[in-house]
Amino acid sequence: MLWIGELVHVFWERKFRSVVLKVISFKIKLVKNNYARTDILNSQKEYKLNPNLF
């Protein structure tokens, strides 16, 4: 009986992990899209604040 519980646990862990990875990759995609849109503005702001970094 114990090994069935272990099997279920492993299955749910994998299922959960795949869902989490999908969510994370989706969020990364959103962040990248937002970053690409605001990249130019942000770099201009950063340049005004710290011109010696560039």
- CA dist 19 and 42 (Å) reads 32
- Provide the residue type at 7 as one letter: L
| Res 32: pLDDT | 79
- CA dist 28 and 37 (Å) reads 14
pTM over 0.85: no
1-54 tens-digit pLDDT: 678 888 888 888 899 889 888 998 998 888 877 766 676 666 767 666 666 655
- CA dist 15 and 29 (Å) reads 21
When divided into structural domains, the chain yields a total of 1
Full domain range(s) for residue 31: 24-54
Q: Which residue has the tokens 């710290």?
A: 50
End-to-end, the C-alpha distance of the chain in Å comes to: 63
Q: Is residue 7 part of a domain?
A: no
